[in-house]
Structure 1
Amino acid sequence: MKQFSPIPLSACEIAKWAFTTRRVDRSDVHGLSAQMSNAKAGDLILCEIVEIGHHKKIQLAERRVSTSYPGDFVVLCLGDRYAPDQFLASAVVEDDLIDLVAGGGVAGRVDAAHIRMEDPTRLKPLGLLIDAKDRVINIADYALPQLPANDRVTVIGVFGASMNSGKTTAASSLGHGLTRAGYSVSGIKATGTGAFGDFNSFEDAGASALDFTDVGMATTYRMPLEKIETGFDTLVATAASRGAEVVVVEIADGVFQQETRAILRSSRIRDRLDGILFAAPDALSALGAVTVLKRVGLSPFAISGKVSCSPLASAEALEVTGCPILSREDLWSSAMIAQHVAPLMRHEPENVAACPPSPDWPHGIASPMRSSWYQAASFKRLH
């Protein structure tokens, strides 16, 4: 492969490495390839920031944001993106300039944008990173070891009506509530675009975190369903091997996004879920959620998201769906966990029986997680 000179290693050493590259061993980088026409999703690409647009900061591998300046060198992943509120983008390098399509570190070509979006930040591609054997480095090279599906850990899926419907808040709040109730919890972002917001949100809530970048995908848009399923199996099994008793899995975007639709229609992911929490922005979306899920033989155990922020909207949603409407504060509560989530559990974890009464359970009464009601609760399964 043809290599650039004199840019190669010096530029990579001073570059800002994005969140999507966080698993990469930087010592493996031995040069750059100028042959970018055959680049594929997940390939690492060194760019120079030419013009600041919508994304004014880069999320770094160290999980902090860095203000961007023209002239900065950045190491990103080539990737597709599906974001109705932002950009639709493709993982291609066709021109002298490409676009920063996601602040977590995804570059490509913007094909369409929401009308309110600024122009994307523009990048000059300098080359694909290559290793000592002149092979292009891809984040898939650093994926977690593939593991078979784990059937013992409880898995709760969090879906939403759309972007910005409150999925992340619902998922992390559920994780926090489960942690307070005495469970060992892991939060997983199974689909979406690489970024540390959801990852950090799980950890802030007390749950260990993993996401699809850990299984070698910068984004899951346009990825084969089999690859997403295999990644999901590995993430859940890895979480279980690290001690998780309950795994909260967030699925990105809305139910009509192509990968999410495929997951709900027929997939190992759908079949593995022990319960679904749905995030909706309003009562109409909540009704739509119940309707759409019913068509594929599923139903949520509760609805959360932005609709739960309004007492009036919550009352409307409850009336038209018959589903419990749970705010983030509700999801923090051990009492609510006992009522709505405990019956979904595959097994009663030992540490729940040993945990002290929850501070949000009144009058010091032992949490219902440890009561005969809990131990006798039947498993409510989706399938």
Structure 2
Amino acid sequence: MSEIINNSEKRKELLKHLILQLHNGEAPEQVKNRLIHLLQSVPYNEVVEVEQQLIAEGLPEEEILRLCDIHSAVLEGSIDTSTARVIPPGHPVDTFKQENKELGKRISQVKNLFTKFEELNENDLDSYLLQLKTLFNELSDVDKHYLRKEYLLFPFLEKAGITGPPKVMWGKHDETRDFLKVAHEALRNKGGLTKDELESIIPLVLKPVIDAIEGMIMKEEEILLPMAMDTLVDEEWLQITEETSIYGFCLYDPQTEWKPESLITKEPTFLQGSAIKLSSGSFDIKELESLFITLPVDITFVDKNDKVKFFSHSPNRVFERNRSIIGRDVRMCHPPQSVHIVEQIISDFKNGKENKAAFWISNFKGRFVYIEYTALRSGNDEYLGIIEITQDITALRELEGDQRLLSYSSK
């Protein structure tokens, strides 16, 4: 047994064998009993390597996503994080961990309410429901935690060649969001809930939320965050720190500001040089920057290699963007369930089948939003990429009649 415990390749073979057995329909408990005593200590990087290998060997990401909770449960408590780097106070990883602690407190409170359900008196039902609603509202703050992972942390891991865990985790994030949505709808029942109705909702609707958030905390603490500490350098962590405010914090307000001693934060500088000359005129850099900030639409440019190359950063953007997406494959900028739409647009634009795709959302945070993707082509019809234009047209849809006189109203 010692040669297995002390041999990295043997451990990884066993771990791969475990996941493939689950894939082939083996009962989780049987797999666990057969292998866990051999995997007494699994370094977190080996878990990542095995997931990457399985994806490279053709196991669908969707299948790894399906098995994620099972094989994580089998490994829980056996993943070795003792070699992980020390985390300074205020560091983005410290913030993630502090947020996990706060989420854990709410989970404990919800579980405590679950245990008290049997002895619940009908007269106390309203108070009980109010406590559940309050706690689930607080747990919904986890979305900010997940967004920072998806749009700030994952791009740097992908640049380092670590693509498997981000894809799997993003899928689990979306599952949790769906669970939360269903839970809120159930708890918002306008007619009120009886004890019998609540008795069925707890295991079928509420408990899956708790299990999903709790499972993700384990995956972060034992795999993702130690791996990220080993992978990213201070310059990258500093960029994450500076852009965190775009998404906010989850149930936790950091009291310590982290800045690496070896780095000095510099204000972004414009490229030097002469004016940018176009066929119908020219701009200097300052004018061009101001133009994109001031335009009443949001612009994102994806180049011919499907990499995000530019976005306008007006103060009133409809969809938030940050500089961590520059150079990122556009497929990685969308949740897994919508990637097939992105793929279809890219394919149709590249082969010349289509040139434009439009979408609209009738109620996005109270606004009517119009989104248009247009193929960018040169004069000789060479494909150069895709321009995404997003516009809040709420006020435009309300216009009636004519306005022929000068007016400085907001509309």
- TM more than 0.5: no
Task: Please identify which structure carries the higher strand content.
Answer: 1
Per the normalisation by structure 1, the TM-score is 0.28
Task: Please identify which structure carries the higher helix content.
Answer: 2
